[in-house]
Structure 1
Amino acid sequence: MSTTTNPRFAGGSPRAARELLRWCLRTEWRAIAAAAALTTLWQLALVSLPLSIQRALDDGLVAADRAAVLRWSGVIVGTGLLAWLTQHAGQHLDYMAGAKIITWLRRRLSAHLLTLDARTAAAFGRGDLQARNSHDVDLIWIWVGGTTALPHLVIGLGTVVVAVWLLHPPLALLCLGCVAAVLGTNVVFGRVLGARSGALAAAQGRRADVVDELVGAALTVKGAGAEQAMVRAHHARSAEVTREALAVTRAGAGWSAVSSFVPLLAVALGVAAGAPAVAAGTMTVGGLAAFASWMLMLTATSTTLSVRLSQRAQAVEAAARIAEILHTGPAVQSTAPSHAGTDAHTPSARKGVRNPPDRVRVGGGRSGPVVEAVGLTVADGGRAVLGPVDFRVESGVFAVVTGPVAAGKSTLLRVLVRLREPTAGQVRYRGLELREIGLTRLRELVTLVPQRPVLVSGTVADNLTLGLDDPPGPAELRAVLRAAAVLDEVEALPGGLDAPVGEGGDTLSGGQRRRVALARALLRRPDVLLLDDVTSAVDEATEERVLAGVREWLGDATVIAVSHRPAVLRRADQVIAIGRADG
């Protein structure tokens, strides 16, 4: 299925939420329709049981006809077997459809999150994003499971009312009053529960942010003696979640209690009204028993309907939060059209690198600048972060960017790979303005190793081959680790290439994480490699090995590195000095 954002999900409004829910159902509508049909048969089988009980009592027990008792008992057993089969098959289809929908929704949401730049994603908070991709998606799954129940619940209510009307019209009026009271209760409590569920989801997101900060910064805050402040912040957010959870529980409990009490009251009134009819001979004993059974069934159906409607209220709130993310676009958009083919000098089909659909023809040949900046300026909130900067880097050059702290060196590298957009000026790659190159293609050609790279949970090999359609074998992985001067350290780990790196690579040191990330970038053999202070955490001898390995591995590719280290500056073919940003 496509992972392109649907333009109809216009933000986190209730309308967008309902459209998202309808769109979810449409993806598996055949299975959902089949499940609804089967569960409707199940409901009709249940509704018919009191009729069989009535006939068994009136035609069998009251008339002392043993054959009638056996005959209707067999009908009851057969009806029960039919109910079991249809319920089992319907619930199986319902679960499978829900699982497929939620798998798709998580894949879609995750794929969209990967398109967001760090600044846009940070506006939500990591914990909040995790809550939306887990708790909110789970609420939608629960709602999908209940959607197939709505047809058979409504049909069941209607069939019970008709059956009671045929049995004794005054009692049917009692049933209608019961249904009206339950529906009115659902409207009132549904609105309350929906609002409380939204507040609970928001509180859970805020607590998840605090938990993420507490876990991620545990070592730092302990070293500064500030752990108690973070623990108090966590307790405050947890107390907020508890208050909102209790509010949801109170609303749900009140809803269920009232919805259950109304039908039971109707049963009591119905039995009181039906007893004189039995005494007068206008209703049979079996008929009164059937009425009591139907009213108990009405109680269960009304209660289940209330639960399903409450789940829908929660699902709408969850879908609104998810739709808000799907509607949020990245600050950096891929505006280039798709083109077929590349020039001979571009790395069009290197081993393991996926050939993207937005392939472009880049001009300029081998001569001339590979990267050129003209009047490049980046501002944030009116404050200059970088520039204006002008430079050209020729093909095969090792260029080093230097400058004081806060001069915008890291920002410059992010602009070159379009993780940040310039406020003014232009940046060209082999003659094309960066916006003319699709993002996928640009990031295949120009690869950034950031100052704080991210490793995913898994092994060293998993991280090296992440995203490669045709991953290389162990020999090439060891070769690239040798080029990054980290092979000996990896092989010293239990398992070597198969050693787990932990969440975020926390089993490795900072220097090891950077060099593994460097090896991952080298494996893709980019045309331009951007290094953000990658060697700052290693000794000079290791740094020399890293620089020599990068040049040997990439050959005549262009390297642009941010660094003040003497060993890096000695190897520089070109130094790009940028000044301090204002402010």
Structure 2
Amino acid sequence: MTAPVVIPPSPLGNRALYLRLLGYVRPYRRAFGLALLGMALTALTEPLFPALMKPLLDKGFMPDAKSDLYLIPLALIGIFIVRGILTYSSSYAMAWVTNRLIMDLRRQMFARLLSLPTRYYDDQSSGVLISRVTYGVTDFTSAATTVLTSMVRDTLTVAGLLGYMLYYNWQLTLIALSVGPLIVAVVRRFGKRLRKATRRGYNAMAQISHILEETLGAHKVVKVFGGQRYEAARFEEVSNEFRVAAMREAMAASATSPLTQVASATALAVIIYVALLHSMENNITVGGFVAFMTAMLMLLAPVKRLTEMNAPLQRGLTSAENVFALLDQLPEADEGPRQLPAGRSHALRFERVGFSYEGAPRAALQDIDLDIPAGQTVALVGPSGSGKTTLAALLPRFYNVTDGRILIDGLDVQEMTLTSLRAAISLVSQEVVLFNDTVAANIAYGDAATASEEEIIAAARAANAWEFISQMPQGLQTIVGENGVKLSGGQRQRIAIARAFLKNAPILILDEATSALDSESERQIQAALENLIQGRTTLVIAHRLSTIEHADRIVVMDRGRIVEQGRHGELLARGGLYSHLHSLQFERAAEGGDCVEG
């Protein structure tokens, strides 16, 4: 079972959390203020309707009614026309602010995701991160805008109606206000339960997103190995967890409304009884009683909405915790003031480099001392888990060394800006990454996006990819599908190699760049790579030893240490680990099996 994804409680209190949340509204304070003003004016028109009831009933139906009473229905129409204009204007302004907030937050979250260190992605599920950026922002902005404006509008409505009621009959109004403390107690009581249930629901939804992303991405493995029942049970478990959390949230939210309504109805019953006593003493007219009752009945709706705001408010605050947890992550350290000179080959040096993954039982790399002169090709070989890929990942600072240092032309990589460092490095990984875009966009990616079509074609030719690209229906403009699903493994690999050709960086990292090719394509690509590495400093992670026999130096690693160095013939003559790996692969090849990792 996948480890649960837990959203921790925020170290900030509700007030501080909400104030921080409202800070995102500040750039749009004018539109937000206009929306609030429109809602405030709408709320202030509420007492006008019950105020019209008294003269209408007390004078409009009397035999001596005045002829100007037609003004009352006209005033009623005018009130609702004004309310309609104000409601439309405020709703439009609030929708504009809300959608701007959603866009801004998603842009900030995506920008933060792009700047986070590789360690963060090692510890997170992509499904959870997607859930935060997509679903989390909606509830976040709801709490910042919709909930706040509803509270402002309904609070002002309540204040206006209570003001009218106090003006007309303060004794009856005090009876109505007697339920206030009870309503506040109910809201506070169930607010904590709502927050806890909402946080549990978000954790469950994050798990649902994680399992969906994981299962859909591995659907072929699921089918071949018969994992449908296991995945269905896993999904059912987290779905039930979300259902339980949703029901607890619904229970707390649903209990608030009827309790407040019962309290309000009790106060209403007492008010009716007292009003009837007053009418017997001629202290209140029919019109006055109807006006007061109309104001009180109109009061129930905003009070009900205010009590129901607790649920979306708690959802918004929980979502805010979730969003801030991502935005507060520290980006990659990029404090180096030095620029790595571009356009030339560089010498590399690893000085007593050590590295450990967080929580790992042993160090991934220990005491790595390695000199690579400018323009040389050095191959890293060794058994699986020996640290080859980790060592290569330290060069572009995907991870930072825990011991020692890495130098380029005598300059510590920690003192370089990440932009200049990574601009000097091209990477072709064994895990080919293509985007759901055109072939041209995948080759001319990132900083190379301005490359001409001629340059893209030249890179494709150099990578032995132009032949199959030119035969595609739209050529360079053909969409390759998600991660190149419409291409064969060899075609995906060659497009990735063409991307490295086009970047033309002085430092190359080749993580078994020919691993997905057939024998004929491998020979052609190998020849192209040999041309590419001329005059460039190249680090080759080799699993198939036949591809690195002509490297300037072969570095053999085992258990995070360098155990042998030398050229191909020298290492074979020593009869050490390299000779053993070479013999093992030769035997497998002779038996017709696939080459094992070296």
Whether the TM-score (by the shorter chain) exceeds 0.5 is yes
When residues 266 and 371 of structure 1 are mapped into structure 2, their CA distance, relative to the original with a 3 A threshold, is same
Alignment of 1:341-352 (within 5 A): 343=341, 346-347=342-343
Task: State the match for 2:482 in structure 1.
Answer: 503
User: Which residue type is aligned with residue 136 of structure 1?
Assistant: G
Pairing partner for 1:422 from 398, 401, 409: 401
Task: State the match for 1:282 in structure 2.
Answer: 283
When residues 272 and 450 of structure 1 are mapped into structure 2, their CA distance, relative to the original with a 3 A threshold, is farther
Moved more, 523-532 or 558-567: 558-567
**2:378/2:552 contact within 8 Å kept:** yes
**2:448/2:502 contact within 8 Å kept:** no
Task: State the match for 1:535 in structure 2.
Answer: 514
Distance (Å, rounded) in 1 between the aligned partners of 2:417 and 2:449: 22
Task: State the match for 1:354 in structure 2.
Answer: none
Alignment of 1:549-564 (within 5 A): 549-550=528-529, 552=531, 556-564=535-543
Deviation at 1:552, TM superposition (A): 4.8
Deviation at 1:206, TM superposition (A): 1.7
**2:21/2:320 contact within 8 Å kept:** yes
Task: State the match for 1:85 in structure 2.
Answer: 85
Distance (Å, rounded) in 2 between the aligned partners of 1:267 and 1:196: 33
**1:14/1:316 contact within 8 Å kept:** no
Moved more, 114-123 or 207-216: 114-123
Deviation at 1:473, TM superposition (A): 3.6
User: Which residue type is aligned with residue 79 of structure 2?
Assistant: T
Pairing partner for 2:348 from 371, 385, 400: 371
Distance (Å, rounded) in 2 between the aligned partners of 1:28 and 1:310: 26
**1:56/1:73 contact within 8 Å kept:** no
- Structure 1 residue matching 2:370: 3-state secondary structure: strand
Distance (Å, rounded) in 1 between the aligned partners of 2:87 and 2:254: 27
Deviation at 1:78, TM superposition (A): 0.9
Distance (Å, rounded) in 1 between the aligned partners of 2:62 and 2:180: 32
Pairing partner for 2:390 from 399, 411, 417: 411
Distance (Å, rounded) in 2 between the aligned partners of 1:468 and 1:155: 54
- Structure 1 residue matching 2:508: 3-state secondary structure: strand
Task: State the match for 1:392 in structure 2.
Answer: 371
- Structure 2 residue matching 1:28: 3-state secondary structure: helix
- Structure 2 residue matching 1:383: 3-state secondary structure: coil
Unaligned runs of 5+ in 1: 1-9, 348-364
- Structure 2 residue matching 1:46: 3-state secondary structure: coil
When residues 202 and 444 of structure 1 are mapped into structure 2, their CA distance, relative to the original with a 3 A threshold, is same
Alignment of 1:121-140 (within 5 A): 121-140=121-140
User: Which residue type is aligned with residue 326 of structure 1?
Assistant: L
- Structure 1 residue matching 2:354: 3-state secondary structure: strand
When residues 199 and 489 of structure 1 are mapped into structure 2, their CA distance, relative to the original with a 3 A threshold, is same
**1:60/1:67 contact within 8 Å kept:** no
Kindly indicate whether residue 527 of structure 2 is the aligned counterpart of residue 526 of structure 1: no
Distance (Å, rounded) in 2 between the aligned partners of 1:511 and 1:259: 68
TM-score by length of 2: 0.85
Deviation at 1:263, TM superposition (A): 3.0
Moved more, 503-512 or 415-424: 503-512
User: Which residue type is aligned with residue 347 of structure 2?
Assistant: V
Deviation at 1:414, TM superposition (A): 0.6
When residues 169 and 17 of structure 1 are mapped into structure 2, their CA distance, relative to the original with a 3 A threshold, is closer
Distance (Å, rounded) in 2 between the aligned partners of 1:225 and 1:435: 48
Distance (Å, rounded) in 2 between the aligned partners of 1:449 and 1:296: 71
User: Which residue type is aligned with residue 41 of structure 1?
Assistant: L
**1:161/1:175 contact within 8 Å kept:** no
- Structure 2 residue matching 1:427: 3-state secondary structure: strand
Deviation at 1:336, TM superposition (A): 0.9
| Count of matched residue pairs | 549
Deviation at 1:116, TM superposition (A): 2.1
Kindly indicate whether residue 221 of structure 2 is the aligned counterpart of residue 220 of structure 1: yes
Task: State the match for 1:32 in structure 2.
Answer: 32
**2:278/2:284 contact within 8 Å kept:** yes
Task: State the match for 1:98 in structure 2.
Answer: 98
Deviation at 1:259, TM superposition (A): 3.4
- Structure 1 residue matching 2:558: 3-state secondary structure: coil
Task: State the match for 2:454 in structure 1.
Answer: 475
When residues 552 and 278 of structure 1 are mapped into structure 2, their CA distance, relative to the original with a 3 A threshold, is farther
User: Which residue type is aligned with residue 333 of structure 1?
Assistant: A
* Deviations 1:14-71, CA, capped at 9 Å, x for gaps: 3474353132232322222221111100111123221123333333234653634310
User: Which residue type is aligned with residue 275 of structure 1?
Assistant: L
Kindly indicate whether residue 494 of structure 2 is the aligned counterpart of residue 515 of structure 1: yes
TM-score by length of 1: 0.87
Moved more, 312-321 or 283-292: 283-292
When residues 46 and 577 of structure 1 are mapped into structure 2, their CA distance, relative to the original with a 3 A threshold, is same
Task: State the match for 1:73 in structure 2.
Answer: 73
Deviation at 1:555, TM superposition (A): 6.1
* Deviations 1:259-309, CA, capped at 9 Å, x for gaps: 344334433433333233334332222222222222222111012212333
Task: State the match for 2:111 in structure 1.
Answer: 111
Distance (Å, rounded) in 2 between the aligned partners of 1:11 and 1:244: 16
Alignment of 1:408-487 (within 5 A): 408-468=387-447, 471-487=450-466
**1:25/1:32 contact within 8 Å kept:** yes
Distance (Å, rounded) in 1 between the aligned partners of 2:539 and 2:355: 19
Distance (Å, rounded) in 2 between the aligned partners of 1:452 and 1:436: 29
CA RMSD for the aligned pairs?
2.6
Moved more, 441-450 or 500-509: 500-509
Q: Which structure has the larger Rg?
A: 2
- Structure 1 residue matching 2:349: 3-state secondary structure: strand
